[in-house]
């Protein structure tokens, strides 16, 4: 009998995918299709949990099949990250007028990412104090205790690796290994290799122009094919978002959310304020923040649903170039770096909030100026030092808490609301990377402001 219900649920998914395909044929905008998929996913996930019950065999079997669409979509996105980043950055550098502009570009991208993370850490501290968050108020169950023990084990495996050693891991020693995504720092390693290839091509163009021209033609041809591949995969976004959101809502522990409602609310207040700060930064560079947010919203919607900054790279790059008018180099560099360093929410807001919550449990006054200054600085530095380490927010929290001498295991108390908060965190991380790319392009004089201000210049112009 259970199999019949599972089959029915699969038919429902196929019917909803058919609806989204119909909307595409009727030329409904990409953004509207993405958010339609998200809205339907929320309703469907809630209904599944109400009808079948959390953890039931029917629900588990159904979501297993839905995972083909959701997880399969993310796998396709991850498939094109390396070729997209590699070819785009090589091509962007070849087209640079001066190599010194490359250094300025990298400095601005990284500078904006790290400085906004510093602001985000301060915001995390302030929010925790305003909401009077305290880990002593949370009861630890079996699941929370296991999570805490797991975090302590992770710390033991990381303990011997210093921040400089983690930074050294960015440097590739086998590019073919990094092209497989084997290491947690693989994306940054690919960026570095691509930059070196681009610089080498500029050098060859001065001594052997015919060889450089031949290579440039090859890169341009590969770039055209890769961008077409990106377009084909991004067309699947509404379907992927539908399945991902259904799975997310259907497996959400609503009882846990109610118990930790105060922390959830405080987290989202901090995340919303950080987005407002992003808008102020955009405004400070004489760009319309409302226009910016309208154009990046489909990307944030995907990031929110998928909880994957790396998976959002293709859509991130496409939106920056086609909707915001950001140049190739800044778009690819900011999207790649932003997925692995200086993450405003995962490496800024979250660990700072945890530290303030946990401090009273060991007799530390979280309102002490010395504590706050030390916490903010350590959080900002760690956001660079743990770049690319799997586990994102968890590992950032481990580094910060251990550096502050705070018990790591208490961070496991939030496991029941972790997925819900992580959705918002990922969206803010991606938004921060897009702010970084836009600001960098503006400062270097490469931003196409006509495209930025053109309401018709949107992501779907790529043919999505």
Return the domain boundaries, the chain: 2-462
pLDDT in the model for residue 21: 94
What DSSP character marks residue 340?
A: T
Contact 61, 2 (CB under 8 A): yes
pLDDT in the model for residue 389: 40
pLDDT in the model for residue 84: 84
pLDDT tens digits, one per residue of 348-358? 998 899 889 88
Structure tokens at 415: 């496991």
pTM of the model: 0.81
Contact 370, 344 (CB under 8 A): no
pLDDT in the model for residue 119: 95
pLDDT in the model for residue 452: 94
Single out the residue of 397, 132, 98 nearest to residue 263, CA to CA.
132
Spans in the chain with pLDDT lower than 70 = 1, 97-100, 136-163, 166, 184, 255-259, 384-393, 409-416, 460-464
Q: Print burial letters for 415-433: b (CB count within 10 Å at least 16), e (below 16).
A: bbbbebbbbbbbbbbbbbb
List, in sequence order, the alpha helices (H) in 364-417.
369-385, 393-403
CATH code for residues 2-462: 1.10.3860.10
pLDDT in the model for residue 227: 84
Report the C-alpha gap between 235 and 24 in whole angstroms.
9
Count how many residues are written for the chain: 464
pLDDT in the model for residue 387: 45
pLDDT in the model for residue 121: 93
Contact 149, 140 (CB under 8 A): no
Report the C-alpha gap between 313 and 153 in whole angstroms.
31
* Residue bearing tokens 């303030």: 356
List, in sequence order, the alpha helices (H) in 251-327.
254-259, 261-284, 289-306, 313-322
Single out the residue of 58, 423, 10 nearest to residue 249, CA to CA.
423
List, in sequence order, the alpha helices (H) in 131-208.
142-158, 163-168, 175-179, 186-207
Taking CA atoms, 319 is separated from 88, 156, 193, 242, 453, in Å, by 14, 40, 24, 20, 14
pLDDT in the model for residue 136: 67
pLDDT in the model for residue 150: 58
């Amino acid at each position: 009998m259970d199999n019949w219900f599972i089959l029915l649920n699969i038919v429902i998914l196929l019917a909803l995918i058919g609806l989204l395909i119909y909307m595409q044929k009727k030329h409904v905008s990409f953004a509207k299709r993405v958010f339609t998929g998200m809205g339907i996913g929320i309703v469907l996930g809630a209904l599944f949990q109400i009808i079948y019950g959390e953890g039931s065999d029917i629900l588990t079997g159904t979501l297993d099949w839905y995972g083909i669409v959701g997880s399969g979509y993310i796998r396709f996105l991850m498939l094109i990250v390396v070729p997209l980043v590699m070819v785009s950055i090589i091509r962007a550098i070849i087209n640079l007028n001066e190599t010194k502009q490359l250094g300025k570009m990298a400095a601005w991208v990284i500078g904006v990412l790290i400085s906004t993370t510093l602001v985000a850490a301060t915001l995390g501290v302030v929010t925790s104090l305003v909401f009077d968050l305290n880990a002593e108020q949370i009861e630890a169950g079996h699941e929370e205790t296991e999570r805490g023990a797991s975090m302590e084990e992770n710390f033991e495996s990381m303990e011997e690796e210093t921040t400089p050693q983690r930074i050294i891991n960015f440097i590739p020693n086998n590019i073919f290994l990094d092209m497989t995504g084997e290491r947690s720092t693989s994306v940054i390693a690919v960026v570095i290799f691509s930059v070196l290839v681009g610089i080498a091509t500029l050098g060859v163009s001065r001594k052997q122009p015919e060889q450089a021209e031949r290579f440039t033609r090859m890169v341009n041809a590969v770039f055209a094919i890769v961008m077409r591949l990106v377009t084909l995969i991004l067309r699947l976004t509404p379907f992927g978002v539908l399945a991902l959101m259904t799975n997310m809502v259907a497996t959400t522990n609503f009882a846990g959310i109610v118990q930790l409602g105060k922390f959830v609310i405080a987290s989202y207040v901090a995340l919303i304020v950080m987005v407002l700060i992003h808008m102020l930064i955009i405004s400070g560079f004489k760009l319309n923040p409302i226009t910016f947010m309208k154009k990046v919203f489909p990307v944030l919607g995907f990031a929110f649903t998928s909880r994957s900054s790396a998976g959002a790279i293709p859509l991130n790059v496409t939106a920056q170039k086609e909707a915001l008018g950001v140049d190739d180099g800044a778009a690819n560099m900011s999207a790649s770096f932003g997925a692995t360093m200086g993450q405003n929410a995962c490496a800024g807001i979250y660990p700072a909030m945890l530290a303030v919550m946990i401090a009273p449990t060991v007799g530390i006054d979280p309102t002490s100026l010395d504590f706050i200054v030390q916490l903010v600085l350590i959080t900002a530095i760690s956001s660079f030092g743990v770049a690319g380490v799997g586990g994102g927010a968890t590992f950032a929290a481990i580094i910060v808490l251990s550096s502050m001498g705070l018990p790591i295991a208490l961070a496991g108390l939030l496991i029941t609301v972790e997925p819900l908060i992580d959705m918002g965190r990922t969206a803010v991380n991606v938004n921060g990377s897009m702010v970084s790319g836009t600001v960098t392009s503006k400062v270097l004089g490469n931003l196409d402001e006509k495209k930025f201000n053109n309401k018709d210049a949107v992501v779907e112009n790529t043919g999505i």
